[in-house]
Amino acid sequence: MHANKPENFEQNVSEALSQPNLKAVIRRTTDKAEAKRAEAIANFPGFENARIQGQKVKDHTIKYMAHYLAEFEKNAKAQGAIIHWASNAEEASRKVLEICRKHEAKRITRSKSMLGEEIGLSHALDNADIDRVETDLAEHIIQLAGDPPSHIVWPAMHRSREDVIKLFRENHKDPTYSEEIIELVRSARRDLRTKFLTADIGISGSNFLLADSGSTCTVTNEGNAELTTTPPKVHIVTAGIEKLVPSMAHAVPLLRLLTRSATGGEITQYITFHNGPKRQGDVDGPEEYHIVLVDNGRTKMLSEGMEEMLRCIRCGACMNHCVVYKHIGGHAYGSVYPGPMGSVLTPHLNSLKVANKQTHACTLNGRCEEVCPVKIPLPKLLRSLRAKSWEKKYEPLTNRFFVKGFAFIAKHPALFQLFSSCGVIFMRMFSKKGWIRSMPMTSGWTRNRDLIEPGTQTFMQQYKKMKKAQK
> Within 10 A of 392 (CB to CB), how many other CB atoms are there?
11
Min dist CB 70 to other proteins, Å, is 33
The site string for other proteins over 270-309 (x = CB under 8 A, - otherwise) reads: ----------------------------------------
Please report, in angstroms and rounded to a whole number, the separation of the first and last CA atoms in the chain: 72
Q: How far is CA 109 from the centre of its chain?
A: 23
Distance between CA atoms of residues 420 and 435, nearest Å? 18
What φ, ψ does residue 448 adopt, rounded to 5°?
Answer: -115, -15
Instruction: Tell me whether residue 168 or residue 333 sits nearer to other proteins (CB atom).
Output: 333
The site string for other proteins over 347-386 (x = CB under 8 A, - otherwise) reads: -------------xxxxxxxx-xx----x-------x-xx
Task: With H, G, I as helix, E, B as strand and everything else as coil, classify residue 203.
Answer: strand
Using the rule CB under 8 A, which residue among 391, 440, 468, 470 binds other proteins?
A: 391
403 part of the interface to other proteins, by CB under 8 A: yes
Distance between CA atoms of residues 31 and 26, nearest Å? 8
Instruction: Tell me whether residue 38 or residue 249 sits nearer to other proteins (CB atom).
Output: 38
425 part of the interface to other proteins, by CB under 8 A: no
Using the rule CB under 8 A, which residue among 283, 414, 429, 469 binds other proteins?
A: 414
324 part of the interface to other proteins, by CB under 8 A: yes
Using the rule CB under 8 A, which residue among 46, 223, 305, 423 binds other proteins?
A: 423
Residues 6+ apart with CB under 8 A from 176: 168, 169, 183, 184, 186, 187
Instruction: Tell me whether residue 193 or residue 465 sits nearer to other proteins (CB atom).
Output: 465
> Within 10 A of 272 (CB to CB), how many other CB atoms are there?
20
Instruction: Tell me whether residue 77 or residue 388 sits nearer to other proteins (CB atom).
Output: 388
Q: Residue 236: enclosing H or E segment and its boundaries?
A: strand 234-240
Using the rule CB under 8 A, which residue among 5, 23, 166, 195 binds other proteins?
A: 23
Min dist CB 323 to other proteins, Å, is 5
Min dist CB 12 to other proteins, Å, is 11
Total residues in contact with other proteins, by rule CB under 8 A: 73
Using the rule CB under 8 A, which residue among 20, 397, 444, 469 binds other proteins?
A: 444
Instruction: Tell me whether residue 13 or residue 167 sits nearer to other proteins (CB atom).
Output: 13
Site for other proteins in 30-59 (CB under 8 A): 34, 38, 42
Distance between CA atoms of residues 358 and 346, nearest Å? 9
Using the rule CB under 8 A, which residue among 299, 416, 430, 439 binds other proteins?
A: 416
> Within 10 A of 285 (CB to CB), how many other CB atoms are there?
18
Site for other proteins in 76-135 (CB under 8 A): none
Min dist CB 313 to other proteins, Å, is 18
Distance between CA atoms of residues 305 and 300, nearest Å? 9
Instruction: Tell me whether residue 172 or residue 360 sits nearer to other proteins (CB atom).
Output: 360
Instruction: Judge residue 88's burial from the number of C-beta atoms within 10 Å of its C-beta, 0-12 exposed, 13-18 middle, 19 or more buried.
Output: middle
Asked if residue 128 lies in contact with residue 102, where contact means CB atoms within 8 angstroms, the answer is: no
What φ, ψ does residue 201 adopt, rounded to 5°?
Answer: -140, 140
Task: With H, G, I as helix, E, B as strand and everything else as coil, classify residue 440.
Answer: coil
Min dist CB 40 to other proteins, Å, is 13
Min dist CB 453 to other proteins, Å, is 6
Using the rule CB under 8 A, which residue among 73, 454, 470, 471 binds other proteins?
A: 454
Asked if residue 102 lies in contact with residue 96, where contact means CB atoms within 8 angstroms, the answer is: no
Using the rule CB under 8 A, which residue among 21, 280, 303, 448 binds other proteins?
A: 448
Instruction: Tell me whether residue 284 or residue 391 sits nearer to other proteins (CB atom).
Output: 391
List Cα–Cα distances, 41 to 28, 36, 369, in angstroms.
20, 9, 16
> Within 10 A of 106 (CB to CB), how many other CB atoms are there?
13
The stretch among 87-95, 112-120, 147-155, 447-455 that binds other proteins (CB under 8 A) is 447-455
The stretch among 69-77, 115-123, 232-240, 388-396 that binds other proteins (CB under 8 A) is 388-396
Asked if residue 337 lies in contact with residue 118, where contact means CB atoms within 8 angstroms, the answer is: yes
341 part of the interface to other proteins, by CB under 8 A: no
Using the rule CB under 8 A, which residue among 2, 173, 449, 471 binds other proteins?
A: 449
390 part of the interface to other proteins, by CB under 8 A: yes
Using the rule CB under 8 A, which residue among 46, 178, 269, 459 binds other proteins?
A: 459
Residues 6+ apart with CB under 8 A from 79: 213, 214, 215, 275, 276, 289
Task: With H, G, I as helix, E, B as strand and everything else as coil, classify residue 322.
Answer: coil
